Amino acid sequence: MKMDMAEKIYAKHRFFAGWLIRSGVAPDIAEKDACRMEHAISEESFQSLMRALGHPQETSAGSKDS
């Protein structure tokens, strides 16, 4: 159960860090901001954002990453 939670948080981190870097944010700043964002956003809001952006990544174990 704890691993599932950790995987979900890390999936959020990867998404936000990648999104920020691709948007032109310096990688060190993007990593710091992603750390804050991954904990601040609810799972419901994160999944809605993923759907709205048409992103294939899901936060469950064994899911696709891009």
Domain boundaries, the chain: 20-49
- Model confidence at 60, in pLDDT bands (50, 70, 90)? very low
Higher pLDDT, 56 or 54: 54
For helices 27-40 and 2-22, the axis angle rounded to 10 degrees is: 140
- Model confidence at 57, in pLDDT bands (50, 70, 90)? low
CA 37 to chain centre: 8
The pTM for the full model equals: 0.74
